[in-house]
Amino acid sequence: MSRWLSSAVVGLALVALGATTYAQEVHQELQETVRAEVLEIVDQYDRDILGTGATTTVQELRAKLLSGSKVGEVVRFENDLMVLEVGDKIFVNRLIAIDGEEYYTFKDIERRPQLLILAVLLTVLVVVFARWQGLRAILSLALSALAIIFLLVPALLAGYDPALASFAIAAVILALTLFLTHGFGVYVRIAYFGTMAAVGVTCLIAWISVTWLHLTGFSADASVYLNFATGGQLDLAGLLLGGIIIGLLGVLDDVSITQASVVQELKHANPTLGQWSLYERGIRVGRDHVGSLVNTLALAYVGTALPLVLLYAQSQAPFLDILNQEVIAAELVRIIVGSIGLVLAVPFTTLVAAHYFSRHPVDNNSSAAHGHHHHH
């Protein structure tokens, strides 16, 4: 859950940054982007797209401006991006042509109210079903998003090393996620330590892989725009690496919390167990868990890259040639390196927990039921 959000937030922030700067450099005549409401659909017809067999629906619209310097005015323009209806809230660009004439173009539809409703729905459901723990999880999610927008993005744009910046932000996000959601119990601190060790090793493996496979980071459209927008200042390969690390966090905290609390439970149930018996029994639980989570991680990435997969599926190129393309290779590296990090988190955390709990008694109050324990 948090990995989805965090990677989506990073993606959006970066694309927004890239797209806006890029647009301003090319079209000097763009005056402002304003909100408007569709009043009337004057005309609607299909137009052939040149050079293809496809057609697009064109609408001639009248819309009333709701913001900006010309607020309240009614303007006419053409829209061939999406089919709109009367009453839709939209964004339009006000442009001034070379000859000084003013005209409007359709930019996008307003989506923020719907997004807000979805976010509220999620929050309500989480609070109803998971109570305080759920509320804390939502809070840590929001703080993680803020950490990415206000710490990671500025650091990357300022030219800091993306791998180091991502590692530092990972430490912050993990602390927020683990401690806010699960409290400050011993097993939570152990989970944090184990996870950070796994993240460190994953960083290293990711860096080696990106360098070794000569991944430039130029595979995604957004990255190419970004390169334009920042004048080539950004280390795109490093950005790819950062994406791998941030994407991994959501599943990592889950697996490490489970491992640490399982070892604590084992010790609680049988105080005579030594370090290695604790480790072995803990690892047995971890194996099941890792199996399902590697799947989660891989499917999440394939899901994100689905349009890409389809694009290549219908091309005539041989399968092995497709694998070699950077777009696909980069996704595969994400999945493989992410899964390596995930698999490493289990022995790391289990070892630290087994070492600690074999030497310290478990007090009854801090006992955790499968890591999803409420601290009152």
Query: SS3 string of 99-165?
Result: CCCEEEEEEEECCHHHHHHHHHHHHHHHHHHHHHHHHHHHHHHHHHHHHHHHHHHHHHHCCCCHHHH
Q: Which residue has the higher pLDDT, 20 or 134?
A: 134
Contacts of 221 by beta carbon, 8 Å cutoff, 6+ apart: none
Whether residue 210 is found in the same domain as residue 341 = yes
Residues 191 and 311 in one domain: yes
CATH number at residue 64: 2.40.50
Nearest alpha carbon to residue 170 among 338, 320, 367, 53: 338
Q: Report if residue 375 sits inside a domain.
A: no
AA identity, residue 22:
Y
Q: Is the pLDDT of residue 36 over 90?
A: yes
Q: Last residue of some domain: 109, 143, 173?
A: 109
In a domain, 123, yes or no: no
pLDDT at residue 155 greater than cutoff 50:
yes
Token pair in block for residue 57: 């629906």
355 and 224 share one domain: yes
- Domain end position, chosen among 42, 77, 109: 109
> What mean pLDDT is predicted for residues 193-212?
92
Residue 82 lies in a domain: yes
Q: Which of 57, 78, 109 is where one domain is finished?
A: 109
Q: Distance between CA 342 and CA 194 in Å, rounded?
A: 11
In a domain, 118, yes or no: no
Same structural domain, 140 and 210? yes
Examine the domain organization and report whether 311 and 243 are in the same domain.
yes
**Per-residue confidence band for 364, with pLDDT thresholds at 50, 70 and 90:** low
pLDDT of residue 28: 46
User: Region 267-288: what's the mean pLDDT?
Assistant: 92
Report residue 186's pLDDT band, with 50, 70 and 90 as the boundaries. very high
Q: What are the Cα distances from residue 112, in Å, to 10, 119, 370?
A: 18, 10, 38
Higher pLDDT, 364 or 33: 33
Instruction: Note whether 237 and 270 are same-domain residues.
Output: yes
C-alpha–C-alpha distance, residues 331 and 361, integer Å: 45
Q: What is the pTM of this model?
A: 0.72
**Residue 198 DSSP one-character state:** H
Per the domain annotation, does 376 fall within a domain?
no
| Beta carbons of 297 and 339 less than 8 angstroms apart | yes
Q: Is 318 in the same domain as 218?
A: yes
pLDDT for the residue 353: 95
Give 276 or 30, the one with higher predicted confidence.
276
Q: How far is it, in rounded angstroms, from Cα 187 to Cα 85? A: 55
Tell whether 137 and 270 lie within a shared domain.
yes
Asked if the model's pLDDT at residue 19 lies above 50, the reply is no
Range of the domain at 356: 131-366
**20: in domain:** yes
The C-alpha atoms of residue 331 and residue 335 are separated, in whole angstroms, by 6
Both 222 and 190 in a single domain?
Answer: yes
- Give the separation between CA 184 and CA 176, rounded to whole angstroms: 11
* Domain membership flag for residue 184: yes
CA 226 to chain centre: 17
pLDDT tens sequence across 292-348 = 888 888 888 888 888 887 888 788 888 888 888 888 888 889 889 989 998 999 999
Q: What is the pLDDT of residue 23?
A: 45
Q: Which pLDDT belongs to residue 366?
A: 52
Residues 51 and 96 in one domain: yes
CA neighbor of 370 nearest in space, from 254, 287, 231: 254
Contacts of 151 (CB under 8 A, 6+ apart): 169, 172
Residue 43: CB atoms within 10 Å? 10
| 224 pLDDT more than 70 | yes
With a pLDDT cut of 90, the percent of the chain lying above it is 40
**pLDDT of the residue at 26:** 43
Q: What is residue 30's predicted lDDT score, i.e. its pLDDT?
A: 77
Residue 243: per-residue pLDDT: 84
User: Mind listing the pLDDT tens digit for each residue in 45-73?
Assistant: 998 888 788 888 999 999 999 998 889 99
Q: Which amino acid is at 302?
A: V
Q: Which residues of 233-266 are buried (b: 16+ CB within 10 A; e: fewer)?
A: ebbbbbbbbbbbbbbbbbbbbbbbbbbbbbbbbb
- List, for residues 63-109, the tens digit of each pLDDT value: 999 998 889 999 999 998 899 999 999 999 988 888 778 889 899 99
pLDDT at 284: 93
Judge whether residue 6 has pLDDT over 70.
no
Cross-strand partners of 91: 35, 108
Count of domains observed in the chain: 2
Is there a single domain that holds both residue 104 and residue 135? no
Q: Are residues 96 and 192 in the same domain?
A: no
β-bridge mates for residue 79, sequence order: 59
Q: Please tell me the distance from the alpha carbon of residue 238 to that of residue 119, in angstroms, as a whole number.
A: 31
* Average pLDDT of the chain, as a whole number: 83
Q: How far apart are CA 102 and CA 94, in angstroms?
A: 7
